[in-house]
A and B are shown apart, each in its own frame.
Chain A
């Protein structure tokens, strides 16, 4: 069953590389996914045939580039079921998207006494922007406490969300624990107290069908590069009325309506957030990635992710001297682990010698490392191009690492 998508490996030229004399086993897709040929071709085609700046000139290339950029926005909107393409703001990635909400919405509407609810499993990009807003506005950060296996219960969310809550900012899927958070339930709690629901979708949008009309989010941030797209392009989706209420945070070209010596007024959403020349080729590449993912099918990708994640958790849990973090079920397609008495960097080095690429470190989630009581972990993360054979390679690499450091 797990090998159902095995043929898709052929679409990714990099996956045929040999690393240190071994077949590349790429288990670091939570950091960045690999790119299929069709995405690489889309960027090449843009620069080869259509390159021009957007929203400015009237020559043919500019019209083509502007149309491709607008089409890319439409493609993203369709992919996440946004009601209006204008609700899709192109950014550099999840980090910039979340900073945009924190600055553009948070600075404007939060005041002393307001509460911002987050969780200990947040990636730094969904924590530090809120810490900074809190410092600037006098608002307070509150944390939803986790169960011992790293989940958020309804009760824990209810304890953290209260009458002073103005923002709930939560990752849909943890990049370390693999936890799939009950976003719709928590969004309902947030909305019941009049708070805005901000969702970090960096790990969820690449792996599961996303429908912003049912998700419950008011803002959703995600990155192109984790979903087969290029680096440097990402999305902030927001409800139109909320985006209109936000202040822009990047000022300059392309984001204005009228400027005189002392004043300026802003363009409409989304242009008012996209000051400067955008990553046009990146947006075109992201649209190609989305068409590719739609061809594979997001439901299939989701089932495959869960199967790989849960199977990896099961297998690693059975290996003596290996600690695995997060829930057993349901879990997304990644597994963070430690091998007793071997530092994660040393683990990753021995893996690399066998062609197996994993991440080691704090995964930009230091408060979560503190909660787990570890300095860092190793992490294997999967995508739909990973197979049962890759899971075997993961298990073998762990055994080899244990053997190597026991000598």
Chain B
């Protein structure tokens, strides 16, 4: 086991300098999600305009893996259509559990090392699960 496989510089950078952290003034979707085994939590706020992710913010607390993953995810989905964003969440989860080949995941590919650590996969996918929940439930308000 090599720690550096998990904690790549990109991950530490996103953890220390999170992108899109905070809140939106006019979110159209808000969703919260907990990781009950470790107490990590995330809140996602999205502004959906014309079926596109016009803006997105996240807040919450968690380990470097979950927070870096959230930061990377927000960068990756901004400007994408709802359908593309959902596809990205699913691709990423498939990528981490080894059930799907890598698509164009950008920075998120840095999380590949996490797949060796099953107990941490749920940290890495927390934000993506929240995104899926936000985009597939109409009544999250």
- Complex CA gap A375/B67 in Å reads 14
Check A345 against B12 for contact (C-beta < 8 Å): no
Is B72 in the interface zone, CB < 8 Å from A?
Answer: no
Determine how close the nearest CB of chain A comes to the CB of B118; give it in whole angstroms: 13
B117, closest chain A residue (CB): A349
Is A140 in the interface zone, CB < 8 Å from B?
Answer: no
A341, closest chain B residue (CB): B16
Interface residue from A343, A353, A376 paired with B1 (Cβ < 8 Å):
A353
Q: List 22 A-B contacts (CB under 8 A).
A: A343-B61, A343-B62, A343-B63, A343-B64, A345-B40, A345-B63, A345-B123, A346-B63, A349-B3, A349-B117, A353-B1, A353-B3, A361-B38, A361-B39, A362-B38, A362-B39, A366-B39, A369-B39, A375-B61, A404-B3, A405-B7, A405-B12
Contact with B along A342-363 (1 / 0, CB 8 A): 1111100110110000001110
- Given A349-B3, A407-B12, output 11 extra A-B contacts at Cβ < 8 Å: A20-B1, A343-B63, A345-B40, A345-B62, A345-B120, A345-B123, A346-B63, A349-B6, A350-B3, A375-B61, A405-B12
A21, closest chain B residue (CB): B1
- Complex CA gap A31/B71 in Å reads 33
> A20-B1, A343-B64, A345-B120 are contacts. A376–B6 as well, Cβ < 8 Å?
no
CB neighbours of A376 from chain B (8 A): 38-39
Is B99 in the interface zone, CB < 8 Å from A?
Answer: no
A19, closest chain B residue (CB): B1
- Complex CA gap A299/B6 in Å reads 44
Determine how close the nearest CB of chain A comes to the CB of B45; give it in whole angstroms: 20
Which of B62, B63, B65, B67 is packed against the most chain A CB atoms within 10 Å? Answer: B63
Determine how close the nearest CB of chain A comes to the CB of B40; give it in whole angstroms: 8
CB neighbours of A353 from chain B (8 A): 1, 3
CB neighbours of B64 from chain A (8 A): 342-343, 346, 405
CB neighbours of B37 from chain A (8 A): 361
A361, closest chain B residue (CB): B38
Contact with A along B60-85 (1 / 0, CB 8 A): 01111101000000000000000000
- Complex CA gap A353/B117 in Å reads 12
CB neighbours of B61 from chain A (8 A): 343, 375
Determine how close the nearest CB of chain A comes to the CB of B109; give it in whole angstroms: 20
A354, closest chain B residue (CB): B3
In the complex, the 3 A-B pairs of residues with the closest C-beta atoms, listed nearest first: A345-B63, A343-B63, A362-B39
A400, closest chain B residue (CB): B3
- Complex CA gap A349/B64 in Å reads 11
CB neighbours of A350 from chain B (8 A): 3
Check A360 against B120 for contact (C-beta < 8 Å): no
Determine how close the nearest CB of chain B comes to the CB of A296; give it in whole angstroms: 33
Q: Which of B21-74 contact A (CB under 8 A)?
A: 37-41, 61-65, 67
Determine how close the nearest CB of chain A comes to the CB of B43; give it in whole angstroms: 14
CB neighbours of B12 from chain A (8 A): 405, 407
CB neighbours of A360 from chain B (8 A): 38
- Complex CA gap A344/B120 in Å reads 13
A350, closest chain B residue (CB): B3
Interface residue from A344, A362, A369, A404 paired with B7 (Cβ < 8 Å):
A404
Which of A342, A343, A352 is packed against the most chain B CB atoms within 10 Å? Answer: A343
CB neighbours of A346 from chain B (8 A): 7, 63-65
Determine how close the nearest CB of chain A comes to the CB of B112; give it in whole angstroms: 16
CB neighbours of B117 from chain A (8 A): 349
Determine how close the nearest CB of chain A comes to the CB of B95; give it in whole angstroms: 20
Determine how close the nearest CB of chain B comes to the CB of A354; give it in whole angstroms: 9
CB neighbours of A375 from chain B (8 A): 39-41, 61-62
CB neighbours of A344 from chain B (8 A): 63
B61, closest chain A residue (CB): A375
Contact with A along B1-15 (1 / 0, CB 8 A): 101001100001000
CB neighbours of A366 from chain B (8 A): 39
CB neighbours of B123 from chain A (8 A): 345
- Complex CA gap A333/B63 in Å reads 26
CB neighbours of B39 from chain A (8 A): 361-362, 366, 369, 375-376
B16, closest chain A residue (CB): A341
A343, closest chain B residue (CB): B63
Determine how close the nearest CB of chain B comes to the CB of A157; give it in whole angstroms: 29
B3, closest chain A residue (CB): A353
- Complex CA gap A369/B61 in Å reads 13
